[in-house]
Amino acid sequence: MTPGRFAGAPGSRYFDNAATSFPKPPGVARAMARYLDEMGGSYGRSAYPRAREVARLIERTRDRLAETLGTRLAEQVVFQPNATTALNTVLQGFSYHRGKVLVTPLEHNAVMRPLAELARRGLLHWEVMPHHADGTVDLDRLPAAVTPDVRLAVVNHMSNVNGVVQPLAAIKERLGAVPVLVDASQSLGTVPLRTDEWNLDYVAVTGHKGLLGPTGTGALFLRRPETVAPLIWGGTGSRSDRFEMPDELPDRFEAGTANLAGLCGLLAALEERPAPRHELAAFLALLERLRRLPGMIVWAAADPAAQGEVASITVAGRDPADLGNRLAERFGIEVRIGLQCAPLAHRTLGTFPQGTVRLAPSIYHSPADLEFLAAALEEVVRGT
């Protein structure tokens, strides 16, 4: 096999899309450059023509993002610099009354670190939901975990380690009246999300992963915004006669100047999204092929119907870092190794502390790109 380090289209050897997507649709860079080079102007602060044009684009971005989220409540989608800030807004602004927070076993540190700090302060305690070996929530045992002291549940819609897609609608139903915060960082753009149909309470998203937008963009949906205090306080361009944050949305949660160039780029990503170059079945076939390699363990959903386009691998007796480095050095293949900022997930799967090699293609990868990855892994694992 010819290594072909620089062969193929841009991004064809890049399999770290669970960290950030690459490449982006061409219109993303053009939209950002247009704002920076031709438009300028702020949002929500002025009424001159340039500012009105910026406001029109930003509100269009909000509307398109609401459509992607599956909600008609666009005014309750507030922009954030990333999903971590969106998650912290809810986690740190919610009233727990020293109660309990339920989490899935596959949560990212963007959830677990804030919860650990709040627990350290004595404001809450957290508990992992009943689950199966792959981290999928056990729906049969979940109702018993919903004790009277449960104040909030947090659900990572799609794991950034093994790609498990949690059954959100069923989880929400079994939680009853418990409000649910969904981390849709990995899922949005690749897995359907029906925020209104499933009556989701809070949804945190990022723009730079499955949505193919730029970094520094994200959002938070709040069905009942009055239940969350703002995380950041400051100027909004409205109610400027008061020291208090305004009650109106989106201003209550959008203090400070937003990443306007980034949001223009996100709009382009939402409106110019290309058709996928491969089907999920091709990724599932890749995983099946890898399972046949000696010593190979594929960390993925037990049920293929619950699998997103992220998975991890380990090889018995081999350091994940060595595998990842060999892929990069011999074939120019770029993957994430280690714990992927999700130690709880790795403890659940039994891959802590060494972690895994994570495989995360994008919609730009062709079946030939997946074939190249499979053949490269076969050579690395077999030592040929």
Rounded CA-CA distance 370/179 in Å is: 39
Q: What is the mean pLDDT of residues 345-368?
A: 98
The enclosing H or E element of 28 equals: helix 26-34
According to the model, what pLDDT value does residue 320 have? 98
Rounded CA-CA distance 298/13 in Å is: 20
Residue ranges of the domains in the chain?
29-272, 280-382
According to the model, what pLDDT value does residue 41 have? 80
Is residue 316 within 8 Å of 331, Cβ to Cβ?
Answer: no
Whether 72 shows a pLDDT value over 90: the answer reads: yes
- Work out the pLDDT band at 9, boundaries 50, 70, 90: low
According to the model, what pLDDT value does residue 381 have? 96
Rounded CA-CA distance 33/12 in Å is: 25
According to the model, what pLDDT value does residue 96 have? 95
* Percent of residues, the chain, with pLDDT higher than 70: 96
Rounded CA-CA distance 191/349 in Å is: 23
CATH number of 29-272: 3.40.640.10
- Work out the pLDDT band at 74, boundaries 50, 70, 90: very high
Rounded CA-CA distance 7/108 in Å is: 34
Q: Give how far the C-alpha of residue 81 lies from the chain's centroid of Cα atoms, to the nearest Å.
A: 13
Letter string b/e over residues 338-360, b meaning 16 or more CB atoms within 10 A of that residue's CB: bbbbbbbbbebbebeeebbbbbb
3-state secondary structure at position 356: strand
Q: Is 377 exposed, middle or buried (0-12, 13-18, 19+ CB in 10 A)?
A: buried
According to the model, what pLDDT value does residue 282 have? 98
Is residue 105 within 8 Å of 129, Cβ to Cβ?
Answer: yes
Q: Which long-range contacts (CB under 8 A, 24 or more apart) does 229-234 make?
A: 229/93, 230/89, 230/93, 230/255, 231/85, 231/88, 231/89, 231/92, 231/93, 232/256
Using the Cα atoms of residue 196, residue 197, residue 203 and residue 207 in order, give the sign of their dihedral: negative
* 234-259 pLDDT tens trace: 988 778 888 888 999 999 999 999 99
Q: What is the mean pLDDT of residues 136-151?
A: 99
**Superfamily name and number for 280-382:** Aspartate Aminotransferase, domain 1 (3.90.1150.10)
Is residue 169 within 8 Å of 117, Cβ to Cβ?
Answer: no
- Work out the pLDDT band at 7, boundaries 50, 70, 90: very low
Q: What is the mean pLDDT of residues 109-138?
A: 99
Residue written as token pair 């490269």: 376
Beta pairing, strands 150-156 & 125-128: unpaired
Using the Cα atoms of residue 162, residue 102, residue 65 and residue 240 in order, give the sign of their dihedral: negative
What is the chain's mean pLDDT, rounded?
Answer: 95
Return the beta strands (E) in 96-200 as ranges: 100-103, 125-128, 150-156, 180-183
- Work out the pLDDT band at 3, boundaries 50, 70, 90: very low
Residue ranges of alpha helices (H) inside 246-319 are: 260-271, 280-291
Whether 10 shows a pLDDT value over 80: the answer reads: no
Using the Cα atoms of residue 219, residue 224, residue 229 and residue 234 in order, give the sign of their dihedral: positive
For residue 38, what is the DSSP state? Answer: I
Is residue 104 within 8 Å of 128, Cβ to Cβ?
Answer: yes
Whether 260 shows a pLDDT value over 60: the answer reads: yes
Name the residue among 313, 321, 282 with its Cα closest to residue 377. Answer: 313
> For the chain, how big is the Rg over CA atoms in Å?
21
Rounded CA-CA distance 164/302 in Å is: 9
- Work out the pLDDT band at 2, boundaries 50, 70, 90: very low
According to the model, what pLDDT value does residue 239 have? 82
Whether 211 shows a pLDDT value over 80: the answer reads: yes
Q: Can you name the residues that pair with 359 across neighbouring β-strands?
A: 311
Name the residue among 27, 5, 68, 17 with its Cα closest to residue 278. Answer: 17
Structure tokens at 274: 């290309």
3-state secondary structure at position 234: coil
* 54-63 pLDDT tens trace: 999 999 999 9
